[in-house]
Chain A
Amino acid sequence: MKILAFAEQRDGKFKKSAFEATQAAAGVAAKLNAELITVVVGNSLDGILSDLGKYGANKIIAIQDPHLERYSTTAYAKVIAETAQKEGATILFFSASQMGKDLAPRIAAKLNAGLASDCTAIRIEGSEVIATRPVYAGKALIEIKINSPVKIFALRSNVFTATPRDGAQVSIDNVKPELTDGDFTSKVIDVKVAEGRPDVTEANIIVSGGRGMKGPEHFQQIEKLADILGGAVGASRAVVDAGWRPHDEQVGQTGKTVSPTLYIACGISGAIQHIAGMSSSKFIVAINKDKDAPIFQIADYGIAGDLFEILPPLTEEFKKLLGK
């Protein structure tokens, strides 16, 4: 039996979620006594490939071509699906990143495979892979299995561990893909990167603000605290809808679902839609002047006070602690 892990890279660097997917796939391969093949797609990646060995990869298939330097949904889906078929891989792992979520459904349709999206846990029962995934924005969870010959799992970012170990020897198989213009019916022509802070879905720490911030100008305080902690800025739906913050910061049922190590909620009451998006955070801190706000029901630590009095000294205190 063969298991395939897709290790995503952007700009010649692996995403942390690529290591998470590789390590999770290696764990499943060990339990099922299967061979793991880790697939990388891009261009000029020779220098980074062996990094995957630290996360359990031993056989790497590197599909490299100048035309694959930038992401193309159609071309990437084609070369990955063809590799899975050629190798006879029956279980495929992706990370549920923006690239993984874009690719996996097309590959599932090509291979007539069932797909489990955004899995937060994987376990093996006999020879069966059972995935746990949140539904209704985390208000409930389901356990699912896939009954098609080829099965695909996409793993939520920031949930599975990626712990580097002393790298085993990796074998690298360089594959030159056969591609024509027709394989690039959609292609990325440019990438705009927001400078500075990490994305909420990838951040270890998120400092998030809600209506209690009273106005967009006060989010400077949130940004300052986030920057001291090396974290991301999050926002509730109310403040995004009010135009105070951009859409890509919205956490909750109609925004992003996040699982950081630390989530600091400032002036967020904790509407059910917001809690749905962040309750899987490992530690939650709430700062809100209403001591009865629902956010305190799920917070590990809270200060029931005026955030404008609390945020400046809190920022200073972290600064001291971190020696910044």
Chain B
Amino acid sequence: MGRKLLLEKAHIPGIRSYEVYRREGGYASVEKALRMAPADVVEEVKKSGLRGRGGAGFPTGMKWSFLAKPEGVPRYLVCNADESEPGTFKDRYLMEFIPHLLIEGLIAASWALGSNRTYIYIRGEYAWIVDILEQAIAEANANGWLGKNILGTGFDCQIYVQRGAGAYICGEETALIESLEGKRGNPRIKPPFPAVKGLWDCPTVVNNVETLAAVVPILNIGGEEYAKIGVGRSTGTKLISACGNINKPGVFEIDMNISVEEFIFSDEYCGGIANGKRLKACIPGGSSVPILPANLLLKTAKGETRMMHYEGLSDGGFATGSMMGSGGFIVLDEDQCVVRHTLTLARFYRHESCGQCSPCREGTGWMEKILNKIEYGKGQLSDIDLLWDIQRRIEGNTICPLGDAAAWPVAAAIRHFRDEFEWHVKHPEESQRRNYGLAHYADALTTV
């Protein structure tokens, strides 16, 4: 059984309330942090090796130390709770069940960064979670953890919840800032980066919910101790939201030292493939990261056991590996159609493109149309090459990473499942009646 740092207490009855949370040792990290110099808190987070849990995996301590501190200019901390990457629902779980953990982490981080107004930007659809968070903030205020002169340190801080209104792109930090300023969620052209010019042109740090929650155990046990958990540069624990055709979909906390195989098949986690079926493929880090067929998922190209950490999941690069991403773990069983699944993702990215830059605005729609053609038996073999060429021309050429996020799933699906695409083209009628099935993708499959 792995170590739990974030969800350890999530199942205690009443943990959503301040009383129970405090009784269980909550807010100790704030007491500790406010006795430290802000720079020392940043140092502690640096020591922990914590990497951003939103998807990019950038070292959090380093991001914090980049924050510009000009005289007389306010600085802002913004919590990115715009969780929208298909397959990802871990932040929701955290906020829904143990909201004070996020508030606690936010107060400590606000102290470290000198943010007196801190915002939680939450996706608009999580409407009921807004109430949960506002309740937690009110309780924190009532008990002196927020407001003026917190714990007599002279530090003032208030946390506000800002609700979005339906736009995946607002998970991109500069689009989020634009939206928080009351505008369309168009990503900004960088540089300048938010650390220099962010919210209302002030220095700003934007961090994911899980990242900020992780500040609590880091301060409680110390950065060095936190860094001992996991492997190499994948320190600490990570929330994985598992979904698709598995027996136990849900949110799991892993210390990044288990194999993918154990994660899928052990009863502690996914509990194996649902309905006694076999594993076909998996997108291990949210819909934008490359899909892997079962053989490459469980073992790396070198034949080694693939591990559930940043380096393990990306072993082999995009040719034979994938990414940790946001931790959205989507499992496909033997009956699932990769073409159809890729089509739904292409539709998603077309729907969510902000429309600012031409490769993404035009390219995402084009890919969806071609995939639609192939899925419905009207495709040609040349369409597969065309798809490849379109994704190649989108990737890396857009303002923000949404272009890459739209291109990668299409690229990986063609890379690993080309025969399935070709089968759709060559058997237009049959492909309308049944799915391609497992073919050879699970050759190397073992079951635990």
Pair from one complex:
no
| A residues with CB within 8 A of B | none
